[in-house]
Amino acid sequence: MCLAIPMKLVEITGFGVGKVDAGGVKADVSLAMAPDAKMGDYLIVHAGFAIEILDHEEAMIRLDLFRELAEATATEAID
């Protein structure tokens, strides 16, 4: 099973390549599958490729779900 989280495109570093950020974790990704991505877009990244452009509202919904999951997991680990 693979898990991909929304990452914000913070820099276009070259032709078809960009830098994304998720909570301070940055990575270089290929934009070949999302050629219309622009700075500030949220992207679904899998295996080093941006595979989907999300609108801001959908990205926030998904990021909130990941935060809730992280909080629930942290609480279970303490109990």
For 59, other C-beta atoms within 10 Å of its C-beta total 19
**Under CATH, which number does the domain 6-78 receive?**
2.30.30.140
pLDDT (tens digit per residue) in 9-50: 999 998 899 999 998 999 999 999 999 999 999 999 999 999
Report the amino acid identity of residue 21.
D
| Domain boundary assignment for the chain | 6-78
Q: What is the pTM of this model?
A: 0.83
**CA angle, 16 as apex, 15 and 19 as ends, to 5°?**
100
Which helix or strand (DSSP H or E) is residue 7 part of? strand 6-14
Q: What is the pLDDT of residue 76?
A: 62
